Structure 1
Amino acid sequence: MADSELRQRKQQDAKPAKTKSSSKSRIDEEDAYSPWLDTLRVISFLFVASCALSYWISNGESFFWGMRNKPHYLRVDWWKAQIQGPIYLTPEQLAAYDGKDTSKPVYIAINGTIFDVSVGRHIYGPGGSYSYFAGCDAARAFVTGCFADDRTPDMRGVEDMFLPLDDPEIDAQWTTAEMKEMKAMELAAAQRQVQDALKHWVNFFGNSKKYHKVGYVKREKNWLEKQPRRELCAPAQQGRSKRKPRHAKEEK
C-alpha cells in the first residue's frame, strides 16, 4: 500500500514538470516563427501566377504584361469609355482627333460611329498609310478606295462603281422593257454590294480587339441635302466594265 501511494505521488510530481516543459517548447516555437516566410511564399505564388496569366492572355507574347495590343479590359481608356458612356462629336470636333495632337487619342468614324484607333497611331496618325481616315467619317473612301478624294460619309452614287457601263451595241440585244427590268436588278445588286462593303468595315472595327467604339458623329438635320452630289472618283470609275452580251448572260 505504501509503495502504491509513493508511485502516485511521483506521478503527480512529474506532471507539472512535463507541462512546464511543453509550454516552454511552444513558447520557443512561437519566438522562432517569422511571418516573412509566409509573405514571401504568397508573393512568389502571385508573381508566378501573374506571369502565367500574362503569357496565356497574350498568346505567348509576354510574361510581364508587355503585350503590344492589350485586350479592352486591360486598357484604361476602354474603362473610361465604359464609365463615361458614348461621346457625341460634330465633324468639326472630330477633326481635332486626327493624331497631330499626341495628347489626344486618334479617332476615326465610319457610317456615323466613332472608333478609338490610338493603338494604331503609327498607321492612322500623321504620315501613316491610313492617315486619311483619322479625324473624319470617311465611309465613302472605305468602299471606293479613294482615300484622299472621298473623305466623306456621303454614300450617294457609290453604287455606280458596281454597275456595268452602257454600250449601245450590246444594249440593243434587249428590248426596252427588258433593259428597264435588267437595270433595276443591276441597281439593286449594286446597292447591296455597297451595303455589304460598308458593313464589312463597320464590323471590322466593331469586332476588333485593338480598336473600340467610343461614340457617334453628331450632324445637323438634313445635312446631306445641303451637300452637292459627288462624282464617282476616277479609280472607282475605271474599275467598271461593259455589260456582258446577251448570249453570255444566258449561258451563265
Structure 2
Amino acid sequence: MSEISDVRQRKPLPLPDEPSPSKKKTKNEDDDANLIDNPRFGISILDVLRVLSGLLLLSCIFSWLITDGTSLTWGYRPRISRWRTLKAFFQPAVNLTDAELALYDGTDPTRPIYVAINGSVFDVSANPAMYGPGGGYHFFAGRDAARAYVSGCFAEDLTWDLRGLEEMYITGRGREEDEAELAEISQLRGREGMDGRIRWLQSRRDKRRKEAWQKVAKQVDHWDRFFRAHERYFYVGRVVHESLDGKPVRELCKKGGKRKPSSSK
C-alpha cells in the first residue's frame, strides 16, 4: 500500500509539447518573441533604402518629363561623368618647354590645342572655332600669354612675363604720390641722417606696389579658375619657362597704361 500511495503523490510528468516549469519563458521574453513574429512598429534599413530608391526613381522620371527627355538629373552633369575629364584623369601630366608648347597651336590636326596661363596648360581642343586657326583667340593657342589676360593688350603682351604689370593698378593720386616719393628718395639718398625718412618712403611705395600686385594676381587666378572649371576644357600639365634674369622689365602697353582697375572685367 505504501508503494501505491507514493506513486499517487508523485507529480505527473509534463507533456511533450508543454514547457517544463523550470524553463517557462518570462513575460519579457514572450513580448520579444511576439515583436519578432508580429512586428508592430520600427523601421529597418531595408525600408529606408526602399523609400530612398523610390524617391530617386520619381525624381529621375520627373526630370525626364520636364526636360523633354534630355536629362535624368535635372540638367546637372558632374565633371567626373564627362569622358574628356575621365580621359584626362588617367593621363599623366605633361611638362612642356615653350618651344614644345608652340607645337600645340592647332595648326597640326593630329595634336590637341593647348593654351597656358601662368605656367598651367589647358586643353581647349573642344573649341577649335575659337582657338584654332582663324579663330578669334587663336593668338592664345600654343603659348602662355598670362600678361595679355590681365592687360588686354593682345598684340604686345602675349607673354608670361608679369613683371611691372602692377603699374597699371597704380593710377591717379597713387601715381602722383609714387612719383613724388621716388623723387624724394633720390634727393635724400646719401644725405646724413635721412636713412629713417628713406626707409619710411620706401615702405609706402612697397606697400602700394604689393596691393597693386595682389590685383594682378587676382586677375591671373580668375582666368586660371575659368579654364579649370570650364565644362569643355581641362588641365593637362605645366610649361617650364626660361629664366627672365637679366632681361629688362617690360613697359606697360598703351591700353594697359590707360586702363582703370576693374576686377569685374
TM-score under structure 2 length normalisation: 0.57
CA root-mean-square deviation: 3.3
* CA pair 219-189 structure 1, distance change in 2 beyond 3 A: closer
Query: Aligned AA for 2:139?
Result: Y
Q: Report the counterpart of residue 229 of structure 1 in structure 2.
A: 249
Q: Is the CA contact 1:71–1:209 (under 8 Å) kept in the aligned structure 2?
A: no
Q: Tell me the distance in 1 between the aligned counterparts of 2:136 and 2:78.
A: 24
Relative to the length of structure 1, the TM-score reads: 0.60
Residue deviations 1:116-169 (CA, integer Å, cap 9, x gap): 11112111112222222111011111111111211111110000000125448x
| 1:227 Cα deviation from its structure 2 partner | 3.7
User: Are 1:99 and 1:124, in contact at CA under 8 Å, matched by a contact in 2?
Assistant: yes
Name which one, 1 or 2, has greater alpha-carbon Rg: 2
2:210 aligns with 188
Q: 1:18-97 alignment to 2 at 5 Å? A: 60=67, 63=70, 72-73=79-80, 75-97=82-104
Displacement of 1:105 in angstroms is 1.3
2 CA distance for matches of 1:62 and 1:157? 54
1:132 and 1:193 map into 2 onto residues whose CA distance is 24
- Structure 1: which amino acid aligns with 2:94? I
Question: Counterpart of 2:109?
Answer: 102
Q: CA deviation at 1:208?
A: 1.7
Is there any run of 5+ residues in structure 2 with no aligned partner, and where?
Answer: 1-56, 72-76, 186-196
Contact kept? 2:166, 2:213, Cα under 8 Å: yes
Decide which structure has greater helix share.
Answer: 1
Query: 1:36-94, CA deviations, whole angstroms, 9 ceiling, x for partnerless residues?
Result: xxxxxxxxxxxxx9xx79x86xx949749xxxxx8654554433322222111111111
Q: Does 2:147 correspond to 1:140?
A: yes
Which one-letter code corresponds to 2:93 in the other structure? P
Does the 8 A contact of 1:157 with 1:232 survive in 2? Answer: yes
**Quick one: distance in 2 between partners of 1:188 and 1:98?**
35
